């Protein structure tokens, strides 16, 4: 009762806008760890019924149990690879047929391997585009009709600050992230008349397995210790630390909510002030 009254007061104070996602369904990609897991937990905490998608069935199962213990509705699990577009379309299509429209799509995938851009093979670019741009496009084509019918839609892309400022030694990733940003901006304009928003969250250095992997690769290439690399990265963040995955997830949770109904086509950096540009 107290929670219900507080929610009513919040809605009244904000003209009916709220962070509450009760009755909404959300598909979160890359949900087995790191930022994706944090986003899934954030949306569940806001009341959404969450569908977890990632390659590792074991990790998804652990998260499924964890969310249920925390009081969320037991999530659905789709254990598959985003680059297997045939299986992806079949599984998500079946989920829509069985459970109804998905109102929120969170596109999130592991970044391509690091390295100078001229050393990247065409196959590396193709793999990056398949996991990011093409998978996101396929999912949007599947889910947008239901969003239109439900008169509610949010597409949130977890990209990278490299969409604004390319990061050294991430040639393929910089290219793919830039393409995702352009795709999202184009889609935002097309879907705005239907009240469907499309936005990008740009994480800075975030304490995830991906960051640790990049640090280990960089350290090996430079002949430095991993801690020296991490210290150097931390030193360029004005706030003086790496982000926690939950801090990225909070931004995604806002963009997925009714409170963000007039926000579309933007980059939202969550980087501790590291990007020099506005």
Write out pLDDT tens, residues 198-235: 999 999 999 999 999 999 999 999 999 999 999 999 99
Residue 47, Ramachandran bin (φ over 0: left; ψ between -120 and 50: alpha; else beta): left
Q: How many CB atoms lie within 10 A of CB 13?
A: 10
> What local confidence, expressed as pLDDT, does residue 14 receive?
53
Domain ranges of the chain: 19-205+245-270, 207-242
Q: How many CA atoms lie within 13 A of 63 on its CB side?
A: 30
> What local confidence, expressed as pLDDT, does residue 10 receive?
45
Residues of the chain with pLDDT under 50: 1-10, 12-13
> What local confidence, expressed as pLDDT, does residue 6 receive?
42
Tell me how many degrees the CA angle 175-182-43 measures, rounded to the nearest 5: 100
Q: Is the domain defined by 19-205+245-270 classed in CATH 3.40.50.720?
A: yes
> What local confidence, expressed as pLDDT, does residue 4 receive?
44
**What's the pLDDT tens digit per position in 164-187?**
999 999 999 999 999 999 999 999
> What local confidence, expressed as pLDDT, does residue 44 receive?
97
DSSP run (H or E) holding 54: strand 49-54
Helices 135-150 and 171-191: crossing angle in degrees, nearest 10, is 20
CA distance 233 to 215: 9
Q: How many CB atoms lie within 10 A of CB 23?
A: 11
Q: How many CB atoms lie within 10 A of CB 92?
A: 21
CB burial readout 223-238, b (16+ within 10 A) else e: eeeeeebbeebeeebe
> What local confidence, expressed as pLDDT, does residue 17 receive?
85
> What local confidence, expressed as pLDDT, does residue 278 receive?
83
User: Which 8-state DSSP code applies to residue 102?
Assistant: -
């Amino acid at each position: 009762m107290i929670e219900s009254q507080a929610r009513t007061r919040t809605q009244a104070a904000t003209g009916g806008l709220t962070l509450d996602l009760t009755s909404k369904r959300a598909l979160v990609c890359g949900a087995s760890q790191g930022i994706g897991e944090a986003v899934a937990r954030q949306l569940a905490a806001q009341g959404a019924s969450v569908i977890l998608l990632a390659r590792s069935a074991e990790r998804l199962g652990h998260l499924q149990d964890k969310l249920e213990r925390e009081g969320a509705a037991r999530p659905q699990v789709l254990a598959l690879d985003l680059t297997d577009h045939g299986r992806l379309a079949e599984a998500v299509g079946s989920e829509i047929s069985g459970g109804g429209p998905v109102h929120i799509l969170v596109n999130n995938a592991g970044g391509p391997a690091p390295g100078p851009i001229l050393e990247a093979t065409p196959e590396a670019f193709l793999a990056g585009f398949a996991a990011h741009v093409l998978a996101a496009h396929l999912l949007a084509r599947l889910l947008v009709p239901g969003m239109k019918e439900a008169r509610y839609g949010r597409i949130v892309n977890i990209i990278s600050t490299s969409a604004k400022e390319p990061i050294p030694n991430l040639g393929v990733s910089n290219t793919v992230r830039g393409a995702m940003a352009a795709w999202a901006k184009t889609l935002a304009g097309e879907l705005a008349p239907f009240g469907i928003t499309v936005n990008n969250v740009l994480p800075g250095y975030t304490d995830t397995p991906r960051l640790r992997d990049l640090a280990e690769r960089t350290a090996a290439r430079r002949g430095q210790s991993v801690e020296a690399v991490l210290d150097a990265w931390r030193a360029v963040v004005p706030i003086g630390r790496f982000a926690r995955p939950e801090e990225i997830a909070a931004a995604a949770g806002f963009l997925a909510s009714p409170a963000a109904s007039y926000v579309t086509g933007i980059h939202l950096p969550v980087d501790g002030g590291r990007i020099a540009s506005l």
